[in-house]
């Protein structure tokens, strides 16, 4: 398959190596603003200082080395959850573009929080193709290359178009579904390019698609796990496992839309029994505001 063009922005730094496994996670932080008392945009939660402290506490419980982030207003917001003394932050290059035009104040971005001292080197690249090219302001993908002890792992943070969780994409019957359908091609292109390069990789994030309803016949999953290039096989977590996030409340959605997706090379390094969804304590959940977040983080360990 012909690989679509990809904008690149490399950022390299050297870190000491730590032994052991690597914990990979994904977390949608529900319109995380950097400023207490201010909603990021319409219908977003207004958070007090105590809310940010609580999110930081859950980040400590998560205890991940690499966290793919969604619905965060950039590094100022992320620093309130992931302390700079412990984590380096990498955000979508779309943030820099929006800053030049003064449009970043109410926007959300993909990115990563990476624990200091775990990797020999980290390289960041942007993947704007996921934003498509029709001015809708869609989220770009953010890619990291993680180097450690001579091994390399590529990880892509994604936040696909919302509003088409379980409807057909063939044909797509409304604007949200048509947009999600169009995002399949660039997502598949990124995956195919890594497979053709023989690189272990993972796609982490909010796919806004309830894969388990249709399983391998889901129109997004079917596009990316199509066996091409030859030998490509994808695996996902969670897999046919009901979400417990916000269980017992009106915010509970049985079928997950947040996933950790691995190719065969990376999957061989995954400790599948270590997978978990970190749920919020019942007395911490504010149903009306959707805080700490309307998504619960997911995490798994892989052989480092």
Q: What is the pLDDT of residue 20?
A: 75
Residue 7 belongs to some domain of the structure? no
- Distance, in Å, from the CA atom of 218 to the CA atom of 221, rounded to the nearest integer, reads 5
**Model confidence pLDDT, tens digit, residues 150-185:** 999 999 999 999 999 999 999 998 999 999 999 999
What is the three-class DSSP state of 205? strand
CATH number of the domain to which 226 belongs: 3.60.10.10
Say if 3 falls within a structural domain: no
Burial 80-109 (b: 16+ CB within 10 A, else e): bbbeeeebbbbbbbbbeebeeeeebeebbb
Q: Stretch 12-19: mean pLDDT, rounded? A: 36
Distances, alpha carbon 132 to alpha carbons 179, 186, 239, 247, 279, in Å = 9, 8, 28, 35, 33
| Residue 226 and residue 284 in contact, taking contact as beta carbons nearer than 8 Å | no
Beta-ladder partners of 206: 159, 258
Distance CA 92, CA 188 (A): 19
Q: pLDDT tens-digit profile of 69-86?
A: 999 999 999 999 999 999
Q: With respect to residue 5, please indicate whether it lies within any of the assigned structural domains.
A: no
Indicate whether 275 belongs to any domain.
Answer: yes
Q: What is the pLDDT of residue 135?
A: 54
Range scoring the smallest mean pLDDT among 92-96, 116-120, 208-212:
92-96
304 band by pLDDT with thresholds 50, 70 and 90: confident
Q: Does this model's pTM top 0.85?
A: yes
pLDDT of residue 39: 97
Residue 178 in any domain: the answer is yes
Q: Tell me how far apart the 2 most distant CA atoms of the chain are, in Å.
A: 52
pLDDT at 7 (0 to 100)? 38
pLDDT digits (tens, 9 = 90+) for 31-62: 999 999 999 999 999 999 999 999 999 999 99
Q: What is the pLDDT of residues 178-223, one digit of tens each?
A: 999 999 999 999 999 999 999 999 999 999 999 999 989 999 999 9
Asked whether residue 273 is domain-assigned, the answer is yes
Give the range of the structural domain holding residue 47, as residue numbers without chain letter.
12-302
Phi, psi dihedral angles at 181 (to 5 degrees): -60, -40
Residue 4 placed within a domain: no
Write down the pLDDT at residue 136: 59
In a domain, 191, yes or no: yes
Mean per-residue pLDDT over the chain, rounded: 92
For residue 23, give the nearest of 88, 67, 85, 87 by alpha carbon: 67
Q: State CA 91 to chain mean position distance.
A: 11
Confidence of residue 13 (pLDDT cuts 50, 70, 90): very low
Work out how many domains the chain is built from and give that number.
1
Are the C-beta atoms of 192 and 143 separated by less than 8 Å? Answer: no
CB 65 within 8 A of CB 115: yes
């Amino acid at each position: 398959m012909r690989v679509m063009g990809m904008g690149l922005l490399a950022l390299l730094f050297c870190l000491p190596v730590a032994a052991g496994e690597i914990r990979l996670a994904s977390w949608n932080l529900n319109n995380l603003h950097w400023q207490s008392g201010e909603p990021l945009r319409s219908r977003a939660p207004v958070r007090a200082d105590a809310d940010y402290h609580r999110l930081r506490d859950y980040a400590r419980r998560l205890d991940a080395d690499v966290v793919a982030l969604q619905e965060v207003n950039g590094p100022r917001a992320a620093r309130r959850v992931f302390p700079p003394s412990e984590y380096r932050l990498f955000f979508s290059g779309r943030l820099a573009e929006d800053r030049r035009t003064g449009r970043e104040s109410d926007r959300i971005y993909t990115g990563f929080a990476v624990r200091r001292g775990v990797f020999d080197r980290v390289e960041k690249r942007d993947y704007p193709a996921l934003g498509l090219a029709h001015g809708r302001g869609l989220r770009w993908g953010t890619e990291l290359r993680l180097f450690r002890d001579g091994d390399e792992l590529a990880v892509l943070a994604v936040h696909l178009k919302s509003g088409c969780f379980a409807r057909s994409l063939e044909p797509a019957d409304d604007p949200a579904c048509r947009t999600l359908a169009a995002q399949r091609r660039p997502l598949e292109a990124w995956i195919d390019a890594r497979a053709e390069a023989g690189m272990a990789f993972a796609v982490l994030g909010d796919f806004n698609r309830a894969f388990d309803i249709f399983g391998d016949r889901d129109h997004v999953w079917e596009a990316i796990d199509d066996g091409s290039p030859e030998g490509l096989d994808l695996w996902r977590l969670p897999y046919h496992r009901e979400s417990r996030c916000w269980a017992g409340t009106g915010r509970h959605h049985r079928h997950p839309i947040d996933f950790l997706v691995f190719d065969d090379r990376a999957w061989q390094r995954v400790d599948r029994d270590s997978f978990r969804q970190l749920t919020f304590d019942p007395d911490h959940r504010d149903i009306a505001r959707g805080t700490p977040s309307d998504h619960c983080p997911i995490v798994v360990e892989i052989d480092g």
